[in-house]
């Protein structure tokens, strides 16, 4: 019998990573992230968020976390579920030999920076097809899919 313990998150850093060094001299980082999902209540979509603790031992991710880690930065994390405090607190563990941590959107905007021209383009696309007289949030009965509202 095989067991699978894989966790995948795409979320936003709530604070800059807490960078530490172990007694053996290896660097590691503690991240606080949040993920969210849309929930439809009374015909309106609201976002429900969850906070996660991630501990990253992956050595090749440390320079990126030191340089780019800041509140509001979006990350993709692959790791394993682990527990603290005798099993009372869950955390995601990214080991050196299993898992990964990377910048979200780095393939779209390298260096996690957006130029003024790109912001202008995003604004034009966001405004396209949304006249002011358009009806409010569609309901599930009309084929509304809350996954379409995910901001990434």
- Residues 19-31 have pLDDT tens digits of 999 999 999 999 9
In the predicted structure, residue 126 carries a pLDDT above the cut 80: no
Interior angle at CA 24, CA 97 and CA 58, nearest 5 = 25
Q: Which residue has the tokens 């439809």?
A: 40
Q: Which residue has the tokens 């910048």?
A: 103
Residue 150 binned pLDDT confidence (cut-offs 50, 70, 90) = low
Query: In the prediction, which pLDDT does 145 show?
Result: 57
Contacts of 28 (CB under 8 A, 6+ apart): 19, 20, 21, 22, 55, 56, 57, 62
Which pLDDT tens digit goes with each residue over 80-118?
999 987 778 899 999 988 899 998 876 555 554 556 665
Domains, the chain, ordered by start: 7-149 (2.40.50.140)
In the predicted structure, residue 120 carries a pLDDT above the cut 70: no
In the predicted structure, residue 144 carries a pLDDT above the cut 60: no
The better pLDDT of the pair 44, 138 is held by 44
Residue 149 binned pLDDT confidence (cut-offs 50, 70, 90) = low
Q: Which residue has the tokens 């003024």?
A: 116
């Amino acid at each position: 019998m095989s067991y699978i313990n894989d966790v995948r998150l795409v979320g936003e850093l709530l604070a800059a990573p807490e960078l530490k060094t172990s007694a053996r001299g290896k660097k590691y980082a503690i991240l606080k992230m949040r993920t969210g999902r849309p929930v439809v209540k009374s015909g309106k979509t609201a976002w429900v968020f969850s906070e996660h603790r991630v501990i990253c031992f992956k050595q090749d991710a440390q320079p990126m976390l030191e340089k780019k880690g800041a509140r509001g930065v979006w990350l993709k994390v692959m790791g394993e579920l682990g527990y603290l405090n005798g099993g009372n607190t869950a955390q995601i563990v990214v080991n050196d030999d299993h898992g990964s941590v990377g910048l979200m959107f780095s393939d779209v905007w390298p260096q996690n920076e957006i130029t003024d021209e790109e912001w202008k383009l995003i604004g034009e696309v966001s405004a396209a097809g949304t006249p002011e007289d358009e009806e409010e949030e569609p309901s599930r009965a009309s084929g509304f899919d809350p996954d379409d509202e995910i901001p990434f």
